[in-house]
C-alpha cells in the first residue's frame, strides 16, 4: 500500500518534470515566434516611412530604376528645396500655423470656461443642458457641414481665416474631457477659496488649470494636429491661394501636373508635412497617447 | 450650492460656447433635416429668393442614382473587410506585446506612429509604393519601374500587378485601400486593447497555468471575454470611422476617387465623398438627404453592435 503510494508520487513528480521541460521548450519557442511576429509588424508599420524618406532623397532617374535602390546613390537634398517652392509650402505652413494657433488658443479659453461651469457652478437646467450637448456628439460631422457651408456663405466668410477657425471652436468632446478632470479636484478647495474671497476666475487660473494641465496639454496637441490634418472643410470654403492649408496644398500641387510627376519631389513635400507631426509626437508622446486613448477621434 | 447671486456669471462664462454651438451645431441639425425635404434645394437659388417644395424627391433621387449605390457598396465593403481584419490583428499584436518585457515600450511607440500622420500625406506614400511608372495598361506593358510592392512580389515570381494606375481593376484598388486603412487603424486599436490587457487581473492567467490550459484556449476563454468591452468599443468606433471613410482614398487616388482615366465619378468613391460632391455641386438638398441616410446607417450599425455586445460582453 505504502509502496504503491510512493510510486504514484514518483510518477507524479516525473510528470511534473516532463511538463515543465515541455513548458520551457514551449516558452522559448513561443517567445521566439512572438518576437518574430512583432518585428514583422514593426517592419510593415515602419516601411512606408522609410520609403518616403528614401524616395525623397533620390534623383528622378534613380527613382525610376527597374531594380529599386534601398539607399540613394546621390543624396538629393535639393528635392526638398524644390518641393518647398513647387508646392508653395511656405505660405501653406504660414496659413496652417495661423489657423492652428489662433483656433487652439480661442478654443482652450472657451473649453476651460465651459468645463468649469459644468463642473463647479450650479444653476437650473445644468444637467439637461449638458446631456443635450453630449447627445450632439453622436451625429456625423457631415450633417453639420452642409448647413455650415450655407451659413458661412451667407455671412460672406468664404476664403477668410475666420471660416477656418470659428465653426469648430467648441468641441463638446473636449469640454466633456476637461469637465471630468475638473470634477476630480476636491470641491473643498473651491469652497475654501470662496471663503477667502477668491474670485472664480482667479481660482480657475491658480488652482484648476494647473491641476488639470495634462488634459489641457492633450487637448492643445490634438487640436493643433487637427488643424494640420484638416482637409474637407478647408477645401470647401477656403481653397484660394491666400488661405489654403497644408493638407490641401499638398494633394493638389502634384495632381494637376499633366504628364510626368516628379515623384522624389512629391515625397519630399510629403516628408516635410509629416516630420513636424513626428517631432510633436516624440516630445509629447505621453499626452498624445493618453488623450487618444480617452477620445478615440482623429484630429 | 455657491452664492446664488452670481448665477448670471455661470451663463456669462457659458455664453461664447452656447452661441457658437447654437449657430454651428444645433441650427445645422434642424436645418439639414429641413433641406433634405426641400426638393432639389440649391443654396445659390435659395439666396436669390427661390422657394422649394416640400417632399421626398431628394431621397428618391439619391437612392435611385447609380453613383450613390456604388458609393454605398464601396463604403460597406471597406467597413466589413477592414474592421474585422484590423481588430483581429490588433488583438494578436496587443496580446503578444503584453507577454513580452524587453522592447515592449519601443515596439508600442513604433506601432503608434501611423496614428500621428496626415492621412492624405501617407496615402500619397502608399500610392507611390503601389504605383507603376510607365504604362502598364498598354499591350505589351511599358514598365520603367513596377513599384516597390510589385518588386517585392516579383521575388516570388508574381507578374507586376496594376494596383492603382489607369485601367486597374476594382479589386486591385480595393486591396490597396484595405491595406492602407488597416495600417492606419491599427494604432488606436492596439492602444485600447493593450490598455485593457494591462488592467486584467493576473490571477486568471495563473489559474489557467496551474490547470495547464493551452495558449489558444487561454486566448479564447480568458483574454477575449475579459477584453470584450474594449473589443466592442474598437469595433463600434471602427464601424463609425469606416462609414465616414474619405480622406484616405483622396490620399491614394486624389480627388478623382479612383484610378486616372475613368469617366465620371471614381470607382472608389464613398458615402462621404458623395455628400461632398453634391454639396460642392450645389445640390444641397441631395447632400442633406444623403447625410441623413448616412446618419441612419451609422445609428443602426451602432445599435446592432451594442445589442450584440450586450449579449456577448462580460463586464
Residue B252 to chain A, least CA–CA distance (Å): 10
Which of A238, A248, A115 has the alpha carbon at shortest distance from A183? A115
Predicted local confidence at residue A48, as pLDDT: 96
Chain B interface includes A148 (CB < 8 A): yes
Q: For residues B122 and A274, give the distance between their C-alpha atoms in angstroms, rounded to a whole number.
A: 8
Q: For residues B98 and B194, give the distance between their C-alpha atoms in angstroms, rounded to a whole number.
A: 7
Characterize B172-208 residue by residue with b for buried, 16 or more Cβ atoms within 10 angstroms of its Cβ, and e for exposed. Answer: bbbbbbbbbbbbbbbbbbbbbbbebbeeeeeeebeeb
Residue B114 to chain A, least CA–CA distance (Å): 7
DSSP classification of residue B134:
E
User: What counts of helices (H) and strands (E) characterise chain B?
Assistant: 15, 2
pLDDT of A298 strictly over 50: no
| A interface test, pick of B118, B199, B205, B293 with most A CB neighbours within 10 Å | B118
**For chain A, what is the largest distance between any 2 Cα atoms, rounded to a whole number of angstroms?**
100
Residue A34 to chain B, least CA–CA distance (Å): 6
DSSP classification of residue B116:
G
Q: Which residue in the set B7, B237, B287 is minimally distant from A146, CB to CB?
A: B287
Among residues 260-289 of chain A, which lie with CB inside 8 Å of chain B?
Answer: 263, 266-267, 270, 273-274, 277-278, 280-281, 285, 288-289
In a domain? residue B48:
no
Residues of chain B contacting residue A52, judged by C-beta atoms under 8 Å apart: 122, 125, 128
Query: Is there a contact between A175 and B17 (Cβ–Cβ < 8 Å)?
Result: yes
In a domain? residue B162:
yes
Q: Which domain holds residue B183?
A: 56-312
Determine whether the interchain pair A146/B279 forms a contact, defined as Cβ–Cβ distance below 8 Å. yes
Residue B207 to chain A, least CA–CA distance (Å): 16
What residues contact residue A210 under an 8 Å CB cut-off, 6+ apart?
none
Residues of chain B contacting residue A273, judged by C-beta atoms under 8 Å apart: 118, 121
Residues of chain A contacting residue B254, judged by C-beta atoms under 8 Å apart: 251, 255
In a domain? residue B33:
no
Mean pLDDT of chain A: 86
Q: For residues B55 and B36, give the distance between their C-alpha atoms in angstroms, rounded to a whole number.
A: 9
User: Which triple of cell numbers denotes residue B264?
Assistant: 465620371
DSSP of A61-127: HHHT-SS--SS-SS--THHHHHHHHHTTHHHHHHHHHHHHHHHHHHHHHHHHHHHHHHHH---TTHH
| B interface test, pick of A62, A64, A93, A150 with most B CB neighbours within 10 Å | A150
Strand partners, B54: B38
Residues of chain A contacting residue B270, judged by C-beta atoms under 8 Å apart: none
Q: Residue range A150-164: average pLDDT?
A: 92
Residue A299 banded pLDDT, cuts 50, 70, 90: very low
Give the domain CATH number at B72.
Answer: 1.10.3720.10
pLDDT of A256 strictly over 60: no
Write down how long chain A is: 299
Determine whether the interchain pair A236/B279 forms a contact, defined as Cβ–Cβ distance below 8 Å. yes
This model's pTM is above 0.80: yes
Q: For residues B74 and B95, give the distance between their C-alpha atoms in angstroms, rounded to a whole number.
A: 31
| A interface test, pick of B25, B89, B145, B154 with most A CB neighbours within 10 Å | B25
Q: Residue range A222-228: average pLDDT?
A: 89
Residue B312 to chain A, least CA–CA distance (Å): 22
Determine whether the interchain pair A114/B17 forms a contact, defined as Cβ–Cβ distance below 8 Å. yes
CB atoms within 10 A of CB A44: 13
Q: Residue range A199-228: average pLDDT?
A: 89
Instruction: List pLDDT tens digits, range B101-139.
Output: 889 999 999 999 999 999 999 999 999 999 988 877 777
pLDDT of B4 strictly over 60: no
Mean pLDDT of chain B: 89
Q: Residue range B17-25: average pLDDT?
A: 94
In a domain? residue B47:
no
Strand partners, B38: B54
pLDDT of A197 strictly over 70: yes
Determine whether the interchain pair B237/A296 forms a contact, defined as Cβ–Cβ distance below 8 Å. yes
Residue A5 to chain B, least CA–CA distance (Å): 23
Residue A191, CA distances (Å) to A298, B23, B224 in order:
38, 35, 46
DSSP classification of residue B246:
-
Q: With left for phi above 0 and alpha for psi between -120 and 50, is residue B22 left, alpha or beta?
A: alpha
Determine whether the interchain pair A30/B215 forms a contact, defined as Cβ–Cβ distance below 8 Å. yes
What angle (nearest 5°) sits at the alpha carbon of residue A21, between those of residues A20 and A26?
A: 90
Residues of chain B contacting residue A31, judged by C-beta atoms under 8 Å apart: 100
Chain B interface includes A42 (CB < 8 A): yes
Q: Which residue in the set B2, B188, B256 is minimally distant from A121, CB to CB?
A: B2
Predicted local confidence at residue A259, as pLDDT: 55
Predicted local confidence at residue A73, as pLDDT: 87
Q: Is A15 exposed, middle or buried (0-12, 13-18, 19+ CB in 10 A)?
A: exposed
CB atoms within 10 A of CB A27: 12
- With pLDDT > 70 as the criterion, what percentage of chain A qualifies? 89
Instruction: List pLDDT tens digits, range B179-207.
Output: 999 999 999 999 999 988 888 878 888 88
Determine whether the interchain pair B25/A229 forms a contact, defined as Cβ–Cβ distance below 8 Å. no
Instruction: List pLDDT tens digits, range A18-53.
Output: 666 777 777 788 889 999 999 999 999 999 999 999
Determine whether the interchain pair B191/A292 forms a contact, defined as Cβ–Cβ distance below 8 Å. yes
Residues of chain B contacting residue A147, judged by C-beta atoms under 8 Å apart: 27-28, 31-32, 35
DSSP classification of residue B160:
P
Among residues 79-108 of chain A, which lie with CB inside 8 Å of chain B?
Answer: none
**For chain B, what is the largest distance between any 2 Cα atoms, rounded to a whole number of angstroms?**
84
Predicted local confidence at residue B149, as pLDDT: 94
In a domain? residue B152:
yes
Q: For residues B265 and B258, give the distance between their C-alpha atoms in angstroms, rounded to a whole number.
A: 8
What is the torsion angle, in degrees rounded to the nearest 10, for the CA atoms of residue A19, residue A21, residue A26 and residue A31?
140
What residues contact residue B220 under an 8 Å CB cut-off, 6+ apart?
none
Q: Is A36 exposed, middle or buried (0-12, 13-18, 19+ CB in 10 A)?
A: exposed
Which of B144, B153, B148 has the alpha carbon at shortest distance from B128? B148
ipTM for the complex?
Answer: 0.90
Residues of chain B contacting residue A263, judged by C-beta atoms under 8 Å apart: 128, 131, 133
Q: For residues A247 and A243, give the distance between their C-alpha atoms in angstroms, rounded to a whole number.
A: 12
Between chain A and chain B, the number of residue pairs with CB atoms below 8 A apart is 259
In a domain? residue B25:
no
In a domain? residue B163:
yes
Residues of chain B contacting residue A169, judged by C-beta atoms under 8 Å apart: 16, 20
Q: Residue range B74-97: average pLDDT?
A: 95
Determine whether the interchain pair A139/B295 forms a contact, defined as Cβ–Cβ distance below 8 Å. yes
In a domain? residue B264:
yes
Domain count, chain B: 1
DSSP classification of residue A21:
H
Predicted local confidence at residue A297, as pLDDT: 45
User: Which triple of cell numbers denotes residue A207?
Assistant: 488652482
Characterize A99-120 residue by residue with b for buried, 16 or more Cβ atoms within 10 angstroms of its Cβ, and e for exposed. Answer: bbebbbebbbebbbbbbbbbbb
| C-alpha R_g of chain B | 25
Q: In this structure, is the dihedral angle defined by the CA atoms of residues A226, A232, A238 and A241, taken in order, positive or negative?
A: positive
Chain B residue closest to A233 (CA)?
A: B276
Question: Which residue is associated with the grid cell 516597390?
Answer: B148
Chain B residue closest to A175 (CA)?
A: B17
Which of B198, B191, B200 has the alpha carbon at shortest distance from B225? B200
Instruction: List pLDDT tens digits, range B285-296.
Output: 999 999 999 999
Q: For residues B44 and B32, give the distance between their C-alpha atoms in angstroms, rounded to a whole number.
A: 16
DSSP classification of residue B33:
H
Element (H, E) at B142: strand B142-145
DSSP classification of residue B158:
P
Amino acid at each position: 500500500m505504502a509502496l504503491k503510494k510512493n510510486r504514484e508520487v514518483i510518477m507524479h513528480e516525473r510528470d511534473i518534470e516532463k511538463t515543465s521541460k515541455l513548458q520551457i521548450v514551449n516558452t522559448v519557442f513561443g517567445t521566439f515566434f512572438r518576437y518574430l511576429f512583432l518585428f514583422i509588424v514593426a517592419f510593415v508599420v515602419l516601411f512606408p516611412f522609410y520609403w518616403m524618406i528614401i524616395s525623397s532623397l533620390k534623383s528622378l532617374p534613380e527613382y525610376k530604376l527597374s531594380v529599386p535602390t534601398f539607399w540613394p546613390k546621390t543624396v538629393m537634398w535639393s528635392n526638398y528645396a524644390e518641393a518647398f517652392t513647387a508646392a508653395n509650402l511656405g505660405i501653406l505652413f504660414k496659413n496652417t500655423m495661423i489657423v492652428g494657433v489662433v483656433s487652439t488658443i480661442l478654443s482652450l479659453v472657451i473649453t476651460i470656461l465651459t468645463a468649469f461651469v459644468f463642473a463647479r457652478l450650479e444653476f437650473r437646467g445644468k444637467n439637461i443642458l449638458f446631456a443635450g450637448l453630449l447627445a450632439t456628439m453622436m451625429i456625423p460631422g457631415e450633417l453639420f457641414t452642409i448647413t455650415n457651408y450655407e451659413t458661412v456663405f451667407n455671412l460672406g466668410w468664404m476664403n477668410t481665416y475666420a471660416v477656418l477657425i470659428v465653426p469648430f471652436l467648441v468641441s463638446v468632446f473636449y469640454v466633456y474631457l476637461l469637465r471630468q478632470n475638473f470634477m476630480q479636484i476636491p470641491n473643498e478647495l473651491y469652497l475654501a477659496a470662496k471663503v477667502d474671497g477668491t474670485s472664480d476666475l482667479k481660482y480657475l487660473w491658480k488652482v484648476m488649470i494647473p491641476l488639470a494641465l495634462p488634459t489641457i496639454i492633450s487637448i492643445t496637441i490634438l487640436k493643433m494636429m487637427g488643424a494640420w490634418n484638416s482637409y474637407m472643410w478647408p477645401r470647401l470654403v477656403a481653397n484660394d491661394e491666400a488661405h489654403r492649408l497644408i493638407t490641401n496644398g499638398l494633394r493638389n500641387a502634384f495632381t494637376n501636373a499633366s504628364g510626368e510627376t516628379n515623384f522624389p519631389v512629391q515625397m519630399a513635400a510629403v516628408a516635410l508635412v509629416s516630420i513636424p507631426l513626428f517631432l510633436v509626437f516624440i516630445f509629447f508622446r505621453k499626452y498624445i497617447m493618453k488623450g487618444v486613448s480617452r477620445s478615440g477621434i482623429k484630429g | 450650492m455657491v452664492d446664488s447671486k452670481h448665477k448670471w456669471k455661470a451663463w456669462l462664462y457659458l455664453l461664447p460656447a452656447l452661441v457658437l454651438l447654437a449657430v454651428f451645431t444645433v441650427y445645422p441639425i434642424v436645418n439639414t433635416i429641413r433641406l433634405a425635404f426641400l426638393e432639389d434645394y440649391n443654396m445659390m437659388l435659395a439666396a436669390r429668393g427661390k422657394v422649394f417644395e416640400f417632399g421626398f424627391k431628394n431621397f428618391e433621387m439619391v437612392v435611385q442614382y447609380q453613383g450613390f449605390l456604388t458609393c454605398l457598396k464601396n463604403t460597406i465593403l471597406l467597413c466589413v473587410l477592414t474592421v474585422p481584419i484590423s481588430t483581429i490583428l490588433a488583438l494578436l499584436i496587443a496580446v503578444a506585446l503584453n507577454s513580452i518585457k524587453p522592447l515592449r515600450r519601443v515596439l508600442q511607440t513604433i506601432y503608434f506612429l501611423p496614428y500621428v500622420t496626415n492621412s492624405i500625406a501617407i496615402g500619397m506614400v502608399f500610392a507611390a509604393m503601389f504605383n507603376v511608372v510607365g504604362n502598364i495598361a498598354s499591350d505589351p506593358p511599358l514598365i520603367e519601374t513596377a513599384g516597390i510592392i510589385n518588386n517585392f512580389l516579383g521575388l516570388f515570381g508574381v507578374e507586376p500587378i496594376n494596383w492603382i494606375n489607369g485601367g486597374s481593376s476594382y479589386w486591385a484598388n480595393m486591396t490597396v485601400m484595405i491595406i492602407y486603412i488597416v495600417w492606419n487603424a491599427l494604432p488606436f486599436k492596439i492602444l485600447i486593447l493593450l490598455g485593457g490587457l494591462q488592467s486584467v487581473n493576473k490571477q486568471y492567467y495563473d489559474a489557467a497555468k496551474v490547470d495547464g490550459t493551452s495558449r489558444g484556449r487561454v486566448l479564447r476563454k480568458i483574454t477575449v471575454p475579459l477584453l470584450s468591452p474594449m473589443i466592442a468599443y474598437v469595433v463600434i468606433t471602427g464601424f463609425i470611422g469606416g462609414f465616414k471613410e474619405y480622406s484616405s482614398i483622396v490620399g491614394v487616388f486624389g480627388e478623382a476617387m479612383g484610378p486616372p482615366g475613368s469617366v465620371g465619378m471614381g470607382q472608389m468613391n464613398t458615402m462621404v465623398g458623395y455628400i461632398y460632391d453634391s454639396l460642392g455641386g450645389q445640390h444641397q438638398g441631395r447632400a442633406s438627404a444623403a447625410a441623413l441616410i448616412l446618419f441612419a446607417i451609422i445609428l443602426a450599425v451602432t445599435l446592432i453592435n451594442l445589442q450584440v455586445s450586450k449579449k456577448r460582453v462580460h463586464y
